[in-house]
Structure 1
Amino acid sequence: MSLSGRRLGTSPPPRRAKETSMSTLGTRRTAVRRTLAIVGAVSAAALVMSGCGSADDNGTTVASSDGAIDDASLPAYVPIDAIEPDFPGVDGSPSGYLTVPDELVQGFDTPPGSGGTYTAMTPLWGTIPPTSGNSYFDAVNEAMGTTINFQISDGNTYGDKLAAVLASPKDMPDWISIPSWNVPPRFGTGVDKLFEDLTPYLGGDAIKDYPYLANIPTDAWRACSWNGKLYGIPQPGEGNLGNWYFYRDDLLPDAELPTNADEMLQFLKDNTKDGHYGSEDPWTVAQIMFGVPDKWTVGDDGQLINKFETDEYREALEWTAELFASGAVHPDAVAGETASAKQRFESGQDVVMGDGVGYYSEALTRMRATDPDFSISLMPVFAADGGTPVLYKTPAAGICSYIKKTGDEDQTKEILTAANFMAAPYGTAENRLITYGVEGEHYELDDNGVPVATALAQNEIQASYIFLVSPPAAIAKTELPDYVEKYTTWMADNVEYLTEPPFFGQNITEPSQYAALGQPFEDLASDIIRGRKSIDALDAAIETWRTSGGEELRAFYQDILDGQEQG
C-alpha cells in the first residue's frame, strides 16, 4: 500500500515499514494473562470516549497539552547493523542490502521470555489468518519464550473496534496497536489511566536493557509520547520523508532534470508531446517544493503563522495554477479523477507524478513482472527558488502499540522483552522467523538464498507483529538492485535538508470545534489551480478562517509553544 497523500494529513492503511528480500510472498508477506483491575480506568475511559473534557466559559470542549517529551526521557539511540549494509543509512534513513546473507546472526541463544501469555489486538488490511492452531505463531511464541495470542481485526473498521475496547478498560487486551489515524478524541487526557508509562523502563539509558528497541531511531519514539512521557512502542517508518516527484527515467533516459520551480514548469511543458503529458496533479508535492509548512511556522517575532497565511502557500498555488493552464497536466487529473493516476503514469500517459516515496518499490514490483524494462526514479530534491530545500519532517512512526496498565512490573518487562525480540533487525534469525516463518515449513530457499513461500505460509502468515513493533526499515529487495541503490542513496542525500516543524513529535489534541477549519482551503485550492477561482479568493478565505476560529486555534497552539520555550 502506498503512502500517497499522507504528508498533508490523510492516512491510508499502512504498508510494511520494512522492505524484505523477496516479492514472491506478495501480500502474504507479511505467566497467564493478568486480570488485575485498573484503579480509576473506567472513569478515564469514559472521559476519553465520551468527549467530556474541561470546558471554557461557554461550555465549549477544549483540549490542552502538557508539552513535548524532553530529550532525557527519550530512549537512547544505539544503532545496530546485524550485517553490514551495502548502502548505510544516515541519521535514521534506511540502509540498503543487495544480497541475502549467507549466515544469519542469532540474536538470542535461548528464548528470552518468562513463559507468560498475553493478548494483543492489531489491525490487518488483508485476509485474517487463523490465530489458533497456527504453526507460524506457535514457532514465534516458542522462540520468544512468551505467548502472544493475537486478536486481529479488519483494518478498515479498526477504529470502531478500538473505541469499543477502550470504553471497557477492564476487558482490554494486554497489548494494543493504535494507528495514528485511529487515536480517539481526548486520548491524551486518559492515556495515563489506561496504559503503562514506559518512560522508567525505556527512557534514556534504561532502554539498553532492550538493545533491539534501542536500535529504533529517536524520532519514532517521539511519535509515541503523550504529555511529556513515553507510552507507546513505535512501528518506525523509512525516515522522515513523505512525498516527492517520480519520473519515467526509462522514457526520458537523457533528461536534464530541473533544479528550481521555473525549470520544473518548463520541463513538464516540454514533455507534453507525442501522446504524453507532463504530469498528474502535482499539488501535494508542489507545496513541498515551495517549502510550505505542514501546519504552522514561527515568525521572526515568535508568533505562529498558519500555512495558509504564508507566502510559500500562495506561491505554490500560483505555480500550480500556471502549470494547469499550460495544458501539461493530464486531462483526467484536471477533471479531478485521481483513482487511475498511477495507472496513467505507469502506462506512460504522463512522465511525472508526485506520490509517497513508498510507491517506488510497489510500482517496480508490479510492473517488472510483465515489463522488465519499466523504470522510474525519484527526482533529486530541489527548492522552488533553486536554493537550499526545506523538507519538514513527517512523523517517524504512524502506528504505536500500548501496554495495558496493571502496575505489574514483571508483566510490563516481559512484554517489552517480547517487543525487543520482535524488533530484531534484518540479518538476524529472529527477523527471518518473524518475516517468513520456519524454513522447510513456511518457506524454502531458492538458488540465490531467497526465501520462497510455501502453501502453508499462504494460509498462516500475514503481517502481524509489525503492528506491535518493527525494526528500522531495511531496503533489501534483492530482485530490484537498482531500486535498493537509488532509493537508499536518495534518502541519505536528503537528510541534510530535514527540519523539524513546530510541535514535531508532540501529540496534541486540538479543540474539537476547530476540526473543520482547514477544509475550505482544500476545496479552494482545487478551484484556484484549475482556474475556476482567482488567487484573490485566498485572501477572503484567510479572513474567514481567522474570524471563524482560526485566531482562537492560533492562541491555543501559541500557548503550547510559549510554554515549551519557557520550560
Structure 2
Amino acid sequence: MDRRIFLSGLAGAGLAFLGGCGKAGSSSASCVSELKFPASTVKHQPEEVVSKVKNTPIAWTAYPKPYVTMPEPPGKGGTVSTFQILFSSPPPGLGKNPWWQELNKRLNVKLQPTLAPSPDYATKLLTLAASGNFPDITYINFNQNGQYNGAGFQKFIAQGAFHDLTQYLSGDGLKDFPNLQRIPPLTWQGSSFQGKLYGVPYPIQAVNGQLGMYRKDWAEKLGVDNPKNADEVLEMFVAFATQDPNGDGKRNTYGLDGLRQSMWMGMFRAPNNWRLGKEGTLQKDFETEEYRAALEFTNKLWKKGAIHPDALTLTLNQNQDLFHGGRTGFFTQGGWGFFGNQPNTDYTQTRQNNPKANPQPWLPPGHDGGKPAMAIGTASYGFGGIPSSVKDEKKIVELIHIMEYWAAPFGSEEFTFMYKGIEGKMFNYVKGAPVAVSNGNQNWANGINYLCGPGEINYFYANQPGEAERMQHWQEESLDGATADPTQGLYSPAWVQNAASLVKMEQDAFNRIATGAQPMSHLDEVIKTWKRQGGDQARKEFQDALQKCK
C-alpha cells in the first residue's frame, strides 16, 4: 500500500470550475473492450523471456547490452512542468543535481517538477484542481484497487480537465510511440475511463499486492507445509502462532500480521468487487456466499490466535519488521521486490536476522483443493495526464514523446539512465549488470523518475540464475483462474459521489466481524445501508453502462 494513496477526498470534491471539453482528439470508443493496440515493433532482446501466459511480466536471464530507443531528444527546447508523487526524501535542487541536469539535456527541455510527498499528494492534487492550473504532465496516482482516486479522477474527466489521448495511445496512433507499445494492453485498459485513455500509465503486475511470502522453514518444522485446502491453511497459520516455530520456548509468534482479506477472497473465489450475471445484472462481492465464507474463515483465524492482536493498527513498516524479525510467518505486499539477494529485499532482511530462515512465495489453494481466483487489478499505479489547458496539438505530441522517454524498455540506455543513474557516479556495471555505487549519491533522481516507467513488469535478479523465471512462474500461477472487475473503466456518477463512504462501510464491517466485534448478522444490516446510500444506484448505473458495451 506504500505506493498507492487513498484519495477519498477527491470523490466528493467540487470541481465545477473545470469547464470545456478538453479533448485533444475524438474517439468513437466508449467501452474498454473497444480499445485496440498494435503489436509492439520494439525488438525483443536475447535475454528476454516472454511468458506464454497473457499479462505475465517479462523475465530477464541477464541485463541486456545497452541499446538506444530514442536517438533524438523528445523535447523542443522549452519548459515542461510536472506534478509527481514522492515516496522518499526529495532530490537535490537542479544546481546541485548532475542527474537532473543531464535529464534536461536528454529531454531537451527545462523540466520543472513539483514533487508531492505521498502523505500530502491528495491535498496538493486538490489544490491544483481548485486553481484550475494543472502542470503540463500531471501524475494521477491509483490506490490498491483504483476506487478512491479513480473515482475522483473520473470527476476531473467529467469536468473536462484533461485531454482525451485515445487517438494517440491506441490503434494506429500508438505506432508513433514505439516504447509505449511495450505497455501491456491490460495496463492501458485498467487505466482507461469509458473506453478512452487520458494518460500514459505506470505498469505493474496484473495480480499485485496478493503475492505472499511465508516462512517455509516454520511450516516444514511443524509438519504443516504445502496446505491443500482451507482447513489445512488454517492449521498452518494456527501452528505458526501456537507451536513455537522459532524454537525459543516462548509464545511470541503469529501466523499473520493482518487480516489479509484479499488472500481469503481468492481462496474462496469471491468476486472481484462485482460479479456479472448472465442477464447483465451485477452482484456486489459482499452479497455472495463466497464472501461470507472468506469472512468466516478470517474470523476463525482470529479466534484461534493466528492473527496479531494489533492487526488493524499496524503500519506497513511494522508489518515488515514483524516478518523480518521472525515474529510473523506471512507477509504480502507485491512480489516484485520480495526476493533476490540484493540489499533491502524482504528476503534479504529476513535472512539477515536469521540465516536459517527460508522465506518463500506462497499462494493460497482453492478452499476445496482446487485453484484460487485471485483478483486482477488495474495493472497500473496511475498515469501521466495532459491538462486541457495545453491547447497546441504539437505540444501535446511532444509531451507524450517525453513520457515515452520515461517508459523506455527495461535495459535500454534510456531506462538505465532513468532508473540506475549516471555510470560511475550512481552505478557501475558488474558482470554486465548495473550495481549501485557504494556511498554514491543515490537520491538525485528521487521522485523525478517516477512517472510511467516499466520497471515492475520486468523480473531481473543480477547474477541469480533462474530467479527471474521462478518469479515469472509465480505470477503465471496467480493469473491462472484470476478474475477481473467487470466495472473497471465504467462510469457511475453515484459511485464517484459515494465511493469513499461505501468502500469504508464495507471494509469496517469486514474488520469488525472478522475480529469478533460484531456477529455475521451485522453484514446484513450493512448491506441494507450500503444499498440505500448509493450502492444500488451505482449498481444500476454500472449495469446500464455494461448494456451499452454489448
User: Which of the five TM-score ranges fits, normalised by the shorter chain?
Assistant: 0.7 to 0.9
Uncovered stretches (5+) of structure 1, i.e. residues with no partner: 13-46, 54-65
Structure 2 counterpart SS, 1:193? coil
Change beyond 3 A, Cα 1:471–1:452: closer
Task: Find out whether 1:553 has 2:538 as its counterpart.
Answer: yes
Q: Does 1:210 align with 2:177?
A: yes
Of the structure 1 ranges 388-397 and 462-471, higher mean CA displacement relative to structure 2 is found in 462-471
Change in 2 beyond 3 A, CA 1:357/1:283: same
1:265 aligns with 2:234: yes
CA distance in 2, matches of 1:407, 1:303: 41
Aligned partners of 1:263 and 1:435: how far apart in 2?
A: 42
- The superposition leaves residues 365-409 of structure 1 with CA deviations (integer Å, 9 ceiling, x where unpaired) of 433455555432222442222233222311111211112333312
Deviation digits for residues 322-346 of structure 1 (CA, Å, limit 9, x no counterpart): 222233334444x865663332232
1:502-554 C-alpha deviation (Å, 9 max, x unpaired):
11244655252564234344333233223333223322332333344433332
* Aligned mates of 2:134, 2:532 — CA distance in 1: 43
Aligned CA RMSD, in angstroms, stands at 3.3
Would the alpha carbon gap of residues 563 and 248 (structure 1) be closer, same or farther in structure 2, given more than 3 Å must change? same
- 2:416 paired residue number: 432
Structure 2 CA distance for partners of 1:478 and 1:79, relative to 1, 3 Å = farther
Seen in structure 2, the aligned counterparts of structure 1 residues 528 and 462 have a Cα distance that, compared at 3 Å, is same
**Secondary structure of the residue that 2:501 maps to in structure 1?**
coil
Contact conserved, 1:291 with 1:389, CA < 8 A, in 2?
yes
What code does the residue aligned with 1:429 have? E
SS at match of 1:525: helix
Aligned counterpart for 1:538 among listed residues 523, 526, 530: 523
Task: Tell whether the 8 Å contact from 2:491 to 2:542 is kept in structure 1 after alignment.
Answer: no
Q: Among 522, 530, 553, which residue is 2:507 paired with? A: 522
Retained in 2: the 8 A contact 1:107–1:430?
Answer: yes
User: Against the structure 1 CA distance between its residues 526 and 176, is the aligned structure 2 distance closer, same or farther, given a 3 Å change threshold?
Assistant: closer
Match in the other structure for 2:31 = 69
Q: Map 1:66-105 to 2 at 5 A.
A: 68-78=30-40, 80=42, 82-85=44-47, 87-89=49-51, 90-101=53-64, 103-105=65-67
Percent of aligned pairs with the same residue?
A: 26
Whether the 8 Å contact between 1:129 and 1:461 is mirrored in structure 2 is: yes
Q: Which of 113, 135, 144 in structure 1 is aligned with 2:98?
A: 135
Structure 2 match to 1:219: 186
Equivalence for 1:313: 291
Equivalent residue for 1:237? 204
1:125 maps to what in 2? 87
> 1:481 deviation in Å?
5.6
Q: Answer with 171-180 or 303-312: which moved more.
A: 171-180
Residue aligning to 1:153: 116
Tell whether the 8 Å contact from 1:249 to 1:376 is kept in structure 2 after alignment: yes
Partner Cα separation in structure 2 for residue 451 and residue 67 of structure 1: 44
Give yes or no for contact 2:191–2:378 (8 Å, CA) kept in 1: no
Show the counterpart of 1:562. 547
Tell me, yes or no, if the aligned pair for 1:113 and 1:414 is still in contact at 8 Å: yes
User: Relative to structure 1, is the Cα distance of residues 353 and 184 closer, same or farther in structure 2, using a 3 angstrom cutoff?
Assistant: closer
| Residues in 1 aligned to 2:532 and 2:236: alpha-carbon distance in whole angstroms | 41
Q: Which residue of 2 aligns with 1:360?
A: 338
Aligned-pair CA distance for 1:557 = 2.5
CA contact (8 A) 1:118 1:148 kept: yes
In 2, Cα distance between equivalents of 1:470 and 1:155: 20
Aligned counterparts of 2:13 and 2:255: Cα–Cα separation in 1: 47
- Equivalences for residues 281-430 of structure 1 within 5 A: 281-284=258-261, 285-333=263-311, 337=314, 340-358=318-336, 360-361=338-339, 362-369=345-352, 371-405=354-388, 406-430=390-414
Q: Is the 8 A contact 2:512 2:518 kept in 1?
A: yes
TM-score when normalising by structure 1: 0.80
* Partner in structure 2 of residue 475 of structure 1: 459
Report the TM-score when normalising by structure 2.
Answer: 0.82
Distance, in Å, in 2 between the alignment partners of 1:519 and 1:420 is: 37
Distance 2:366 2:439 in 1: 49
Match of 1:278 among 255, 260, 266: 255
Structure 2 residue aligned with 1:201, among 154, 168, 187?
Answer: 168
Q: Flag the 1:508–1:212 CA change in 2: closer, same or farther, 3 A.
A: farther
Q: What letter is aligned with 1:550? A: G
Is the Cα–Cα contact under 8 Å of residues 401 and 469 in structure 1 kept in the other structure? no
Contact in 2 for aligned 1:68/1:505 (Cα 8 Å):
no
Alpha-carbon deviation of 1:98?
Answer: 4.6
Per the TM alignment, residue 208 of structure 1 is displaced from its structure 2 partner at its CA by 1.4
Give the Cα–Cα distance (whole angstroms) in 2 for the partners of residues 186 and 441 of structure 1.
39
Secondary structure in 1 matching 2:414: helix
Per-residue CA distance 1:476-500 (angstroms, 9 max, x = gap) = 2326667534322201233232222
Partners of 2:170 and 2:505 in 1: how far apart?
A: 42
User: Number of aligned pairs?
Assistant: 512
Given residue 209 of structure 1, which amino acid in structure 2 is its aligned partner? D
Q: Deviations over 1:92-147 (max 9, x none)?
A: 3222235334x312223443544343222212122211342232122223233444
Give 1:237 shift.
0.7
The one-letter amino acid paired with 1:560 is A
2:216 maps to which residue?
A: 249
Q: CA deviation at 1:443?
A: 2.7
Q: CA 1:488/1:456 → structure 2, altered by over 3 Å: closer, same or farther?
A: same
In structure 2, runs of 5+ residues without a counterpart are: 18-27, 144-148, 245-250, 340-344
- In structure 1, how many angstroms separate the alpha carbons of the residues matched to 2:305 and 2:535? 36
Change in 2 beyond 3 A, CA 1:337/1:403: closer
Structure 1 stretches of at least 4 aligned residues deviating more than 6 Å after TM superposition: none
* Matches of 2:302 and 2:142, distance apart in 1: 34
Secondary structure (helix, strand or coil) at the match of 1:252 reads helix
The answer as to whether partners of 1:478 and 1:484 remain within 8 angstroms in 2 is no
SS in 2 for 1:457: coil
Does structure 1 conserve the Cα–Cα contact (< 8 Å) formed by 2:211 and 2:333? yes
The CA deviation at 1:207 is 0.7
CA distance in 1 between counterparts of 2:377 and 2:486 reads 12
Q: Distance in 2 between matches of 1:445 and 1:289?
A: 43
Query: Contact 2:257–2:308 at 8 Å: present in 1 too?
Result: yes
Q: In structure 2, how many angstroms separate the alpha carbons of the residues matched to 1:437 and 1:179? A: 24
Measured in 2, the distance between the counterparts of 1:374 and 1:412 equals 52
Give the direction of change, closer, same or farther, for the CA distance of 1:392–1:111 in structure 2 (3 Å limit): same
Secondary structure at 2:428's aligned position in 1? Answer: strand
Distance (whole Å) between structure 2 residues aligned to residue 112 and residue 525 of structure 1: 49
Change (3 A) 1:300 1:107: closer
